[in-house]
Structure 1
Amino acid sequence: MYEPASRARFITRWAVWRLDSRVIASILLVESAVLALVVTSAALERVTREHLVLTAWLVAFGVLHTEVATGIERIRRQVAGTSYFDLSSVWTFAAAVLLPPALAAGVIVVLYVHLWIRVWRPARVPLYRHVFTTATVVLAAFVAHVVTSRAGGIQGWPGDLSSLGTIALAILLYVTVNTALVGGAIALTNPPARPGELLGHWDDNALEIATLCLGALAAIALTANPWLVVLVLPPLLVLHRAVLVRQLEEVANTDGKTGLLTAAAWHARATRAIGRAEKARESVAVLICDLDHFKAINDMHGHLAGDQVLAAVATALRAEVRGRDLVGRFGGEEFVVLVPDLPLENGGRAEVHAVGERIRHRISMLTVAVDTPDGALTVSGLGISVGGAVLPPEGATLEQVMKIADASLYAAKRDGRNTVRIAGLAQIPAARNPTA
């Protein structure tokens, strides 16, 4: 038993109190709205025996799904470092369209408590974040319930296009409400957040929509024959494995020290980007960046400190290029950048030179806190040499452009280092001639 003073100290240590007051207020507002909706709907809607049976089926299959997927997710933890990819919206969406809001909220709470015990608490996810996620799912489910109930609910397979449209609208609103609430919390917690962080990546949103479509099919199956829901489990496990394969590919294509593309992954994607640029008659440029005197950092502070410097330089590089530019680690202390969509005037050489100068200036101003055998130190005064080449719309191979960019890099080294040299279009080999 906690004494009052001990209980008070325990509560004040909760991670939620370290958040900004606006974030705390927003969390409490959402959770209060959820509680009010559940209490109101519980008083207004009648619960039947059929509703209770459906609730039991949804809880049973939701818990079974989590347990069966644990093996796949354990592999993901070992490889990708993420704890769990939540596909429980199959069951929460089915609950939303089949049950009164109060019972649907009960299903969601039970499933998310089970997820907390089996997944998120061992992964040390803050409890307030899990509670807030549960609340956003309940609100999204409430909106989906309103849409389907006004259209008469789901009874068997959709009989016409209007009922199919109702399901599609419910899925769209479910995703929109959930994304908006989570995105709003992220915007308040980590300003200024990028659109991709607020709205999620396209692949993740597509996966969520696919999962909700399975949820709609599960709801329809439950109204026909509950045992048909067993057929939903194999596609769910395939989705889990598909996400695992995608993350394995990302790990294989990502440099472990810098988080950038590996040389092989960068080369493959750059080749495809050049092919697209040729079809669109656009110019593309390649920059090769070499960190000056990096060996001295390793010799003076150790290789672990050198790795921290490389990671900081990689972050700075990404900050100075566009989201669609390809940034990779070429090897050692060398980095490579592909800059597509350049203007045709002079091949965009001025724009590429400006990118190189921004990178050079950013690195020169960088200070990196590193851990060394002598304690914590700060590395500053870094320099980086940048060589570049512009590929004309007529085309040249990536290897040809890389050779010119590499020659420009060595020219920058000869000119005193920490400089930028960009080759002009006249220095690029002529267009490919298959018959030559």
Structure 2
Amino acid sequence: MRLRTRIQLSTTVVLIVLLIVANTSIYFIFKNSAITSEINRLTNTSNNTVIELNKKSNLSMEQVLQAYLISNGMIRIVDQNNNPTIQVTTNNDYRNIPSKYDDDQFEEVIQYKDSMFVVVSIPTFNENGAIVNLQVVENVDILFGNIIDLKWVFVYATVIVIIILFLTSRLLGRVITSPIQRLTQTMDLIEKDGSFEKILITHEAKDELTEMAMTFNRMIKRLEKSYTKQEQFVSDASHELKTPLTVIDSYVKLLKRWGKDRPDILEEAIDSIASESSRMKYLTEQFLQLAKSEECIENEKNTVNIVPIVEETIHRLQQAYKHEIHLKNEQHEIHMNIHEESFVQLLVILLDNAKKYSDNQIKVELKEWKKGVSISVTDKGIGIPFEAQAHVFDRLYRVDKTRNRKTGGSGLGLSIAKRIVEHHDGDITLESVEGNGSTFTFTLPKLEV
């Protein structure tokens, strides 16, 4: 059974049961209340009649009963043999209504010739001092007619409301299951076409179904991003490894032909294969570092003072580089929540990039702001053309591929740096003028201690 049908049936059944229970309760409450009210009115009439009979007035018992006769009924005296001795009535047909004697007061509803009567009986004394029953009998056909009319009103109203409930529950089921149907259709489309479709959210209601759709869209977005990264990774790796593999394959074939007879070719082939093998190793390490930087998780971060880390990294690279690296910093302690290894890798990438394309001094400036910390690395090298600046953080992008081949660049360093900054909720920017050098600045949020 479909979910929409279950919702329709369950809501309809529950509401029908509640409606029937409510209408039935109202019906019987009204019926009992109306009958009780009529009985109380006749009881008052009976009590007043008994009081008048006990006054010992000059009026006969029949005259007193005539005085208290109701508009559509009868007042009678019933002896202990169940026989009516005196009957005063507005309709002679009522005289044949069965009578009975009882020592106690009683009230009852009886039916006689398709008519309904309310009987109230009170023990009293007759003119001879014998105990008799004073009974007041009233025709209540009008009252029961109203009760029957009310019953049919409830019946018709219940039927109409059931039809309305059935239709509205059908509409409700359709509204509730609409996001689920869109989810199913979207998943079917994804399965058939292999695309990453999202559910169209037509309203911003903060209900569970909208949250489900938003969660699904976030999941699809994440899967699409992951799939795109995977495709890009495979494409980048195959593209970059294709050239060294082609070179190695060519020299292997050359060695098979001439390697044994031509020592010069043997030496050239060995050098080229070694060089391309080293390049493949370097590329593989860069790809792995890029993947690792994207897996930098929150629980690997620690709160540390970054000032000595920056100083130690610069001092270590100063020994390896021929360039002078100047640090400008006025702070002794800047505490931040970082992944230390990735942070050091970020500094090394930017300093190594500055070293490759500049023969002059490298300037590093550390600034502390109200809500963050920025570190800029400036070189006085060849700079980057304006049209290329928007792409320098893309994977495997090179401003000048020939020059990067000579310096050993792979086009992955700045992409790795950008990923590290993003994993620290920061931002990295570039300012460069071709021929006048470049400045890379990354800003990270500061941890207040």
Q: How does the TM-score come out when normalised to structure 1?
A: 0.21
More helix by share: 1
Q: Greater Rg, structure 1 or structure 2? A: 2
Q: How does the TM-score come out when normalised to structure 2?
A: 0.21
More strand by share: 2
Choose between structure 1 and 2 for higher RCO, CA contacts under 8 A separated by at least 6 residues.
Answer: 1
